[in-house]
Amino acid sequence: MKVKVCGMREPGNIQEIAAMQPDYFGFIFFQGSKRYAAEHIDQHFISGLPGSIKKVGVFVNEGVEEIKRLTHTYGFDLVQLHGRETPLQCKELKDSGLQVVKAFSVDESFDFHNILPYESSCNFFLFDTRGKNYGGNGVTFDWKLLQNYTSDIPYFLSGGLNLENIRGINNLKLKPFAIDVNSGFELEPGLKDVQAIKELLELRNQNQL
């Protein structure tokens, strides 16, 4: 299982965790987020990170052309769309050569049929917990709801993941392609707990996830 560490912002913190080789880093380019990365890192810093770590630009209701521009500037490998982006917008980005992750906010009322129009325009889906913020709410949703997911598109699991609950992923019938961790592995917004990330990656390396 792949591991994505999202909400990365502090250069020293990023370098410490990069040395542990997670699979993905997520950089949030949404000014409404407490983990907004643009004011803390530049394209030269990101390009200096190990090539084995895929860099994900996270956007919320951003225009397609601006996403393309920022992706080119920062050298992102994937774009993650966390707002109300349409299948057509996703397709335009995918057709331009980008890998697209479309996020959906899940609660008891979520209808998994709503993702079907996105299947041809996305490489991955991401399921997060519906809350007041666009991600980073620190709350899990009922993973039993994933029994209603029937698509062949691989998915990232997000929403309130921490060292206490993460082993429960092994009980899922349809396991995620990757887990996306953020607030449950932080000392404060944008600053990750290095020791907790180390323990997480050790579990991954020991095939316990």
Q: Which residues are known catalytic residues?
A: 6, 128
Residues with Cβ within 8 Å of residue 83, at least 6 apart in sequence: 59, 60, 61, 62, 134
For the chain, what percentages of helix, strand and coil (3-state, to nearest 5) are there? 35, 20, 45
Residues 202, 45, 72, 59: is their CA dihedral positive or negative? positive
Looking at the DSSP bridge assignments, the partners of residue 126 are: 103, 156
Report yes or no: 176 and 204 within 8 Å, Cβ to Cβ.
Answer: no
DSSP 112: G
